[in-house]
Amino acid sequence: MSDGIMSKAATMEIPINSNGNTGALAEDDGLEQDLQQVMASGPNLNETSIVSGGYGGTAEGIIPTGSIKGRDRAGLARRATGPTVRKRARRAEFDQCNNLGSCTKQMISERFGRGSRTVDLELEAQIELLRDTKRKYGSVLRLARALTNHFYNMVQTQHALGDAFADLSQKSPELRDEFGYNAETQKLLCRNGETLLGAINFFVSSINTLVNKTMEDTLMTIKMYENARLEFDAYRSDLEELSLGPRDAAATARIDAAQQQYQVQKDKYERLRSDVTIKLRFLEENKVKVMHKQLLLFHNAISAYFAGNQQQLEQTLERFNVKLNPPGADKPSWLEEP
């Protein structure tokens, strides 16, 4: 029995504290009491047994469960599974750190022009074109919002000025007709301005959706693709370095593992490249369709307003199914900066 205890003790982990000294766990006292209890009671063949994890696996390592209390059995279970869980956690952390280290090394090598990178020239050109297009459309969106803010303030001023003229027309008999003419003119301009604001609102809302939702969604997929490309090249570089080294048993095992990781990253990279290609094509089709409609609306509405053609202005909004806000509505919320 004493040999079994020594075998059990020889396989236990010895915790090391921050100073390099061996530290005693609180659970060791419980384990010693369990062993003493086993020595005193002896094995019971009529009860279920738990085989200890010693290297020898001798019969003396069998501990009867009937002589161990529920709390002590839970303690043994924690001690048995604890090292395994910690080992898996350490392994996962190591793999993650190793992956980050490889990617960082690859990134630095590319930045200083020392490493090779996978390049799809046609796709890279399309991606750069999209980023440039998003910047230019974003500038159009900011200018259109500024125009709407200024025009909204002008319409509100015209409305107030018309009310002031109408009030003076009632209180100034000698200038009743003159104030009345100007009041009617400002009210007409205000009404047409509100109609034009409805068209510009629709224009800005559509451009905002295109830039900050549709294009942004494609750029997020592109970012995932670029990260996958970096990881793919990092694993490719690691595999190439291992292939140039010695070919002993340990090196062959590392090469096989690196080959598997390389294939996984290659599949991920090719899948995301395909996703980016498809999204870029659909984005271009959607952009042309949306902008064709919005630019035509913007041109017709602006032209009709400044030509003083109220009927054509209203027909333009009906043609493009633009709904106006009810009279007296507050300033549209889309005018707020995102």
The whole-number pLDDT of residue 313 equals 92
What confidence category does residue 167 fall into, taking pLDDT thresholds of 50, 70 and 90? Answer: very high
Tens digit of each residue's pLDDT (9 = 90 or more) over 107-131:
777 676 676 778 789 999 999 999 9
The whole-number pLDDT of residue 112 equals 67
Tens digit of each residue's pLDDT (9 = 90 or more) over 187-232:
999 999 999 999 999 999 999 999 999 999 999 999 999 999 988 8
Q: Which residues contact 223 (CB under 8 A, 6 or more apart)?
A: none
Distance CA 9, CA 17 (A): 19
Judge whether 187 lies within some domain.
yes
Closest by CA to 314, choosing from 201, 204, 192, is 192
Domain CATH code at residue 199: 1.20.1270.60
User: Which tokens sit at 52?
Assistant: 């200890």
Residue 51 pairs in a beta bridge with 62
Statement: residue 273 has pLDDT above 80? yes
Statement: residue 136 has pLDDT above 80? yes
Judge whether 148 lies within some domain.
yes
Q: Are 11 and 53 in contact (CB under 8 A)?
A: yes
The whole-number pLDDT of residue 89 equals 56
* Range name among 67-81, 82-96, 238-252 with the lowest pLDDT average: 67-81
Residue spans of alpha helices (H) in the chain? 2-10, 27-41, 70-111, 121-171, 176-209, 216-243, 249-306, 310-319
Higher pLDDT, 246 or 155: 155
Region 15-24: mean pLDDT is 41
The whole-number pLDDT of residue 137 equals 97
Judge whether 11 lies within some domain.
no
Q: Which residues contact 170 (CB under 8 A, 6 or more apart)?
A: 176
Judge whether 138 lies within some domain.
yes
Number of domains within the chain = 1
* Range name among 69-73, 119-123, 235-239 with the lowest pLDDT average: 69-73
Judge whether 295 lies within some domain.
yes
Judge whether 129 lies within some domain.
yes
The whole-number pLDDT of residue 195 equals 93
Sign of dihedral through CA atoms 158, 164, 166, 172?
A: negative
Statement: residue 245 has pLDDT above 70? yes
What confidence category does residue 12 fall into, taking pLDDT thresholds of 50, 70 and 90? Answer: very low
Judge whether 194 lies within some domain.
yes
* Amino acid found at 171: K
Statement: residue 312 has pLDDT above 50? yes
As a whole number, the mean pLDDT across the chain is: 75
The whole-number pLDDT of residue 98 equals 52
User: What domain range is 294 assigned to?
Assistant: 93-320
Q: Which residues contact 234 (CB under 8 A, 6 or more apart)?
A: 99, 102, 103, 105, 106
Judge whether 326 lies within some domain.
no
Region 296-319: mean pLDDT is 92
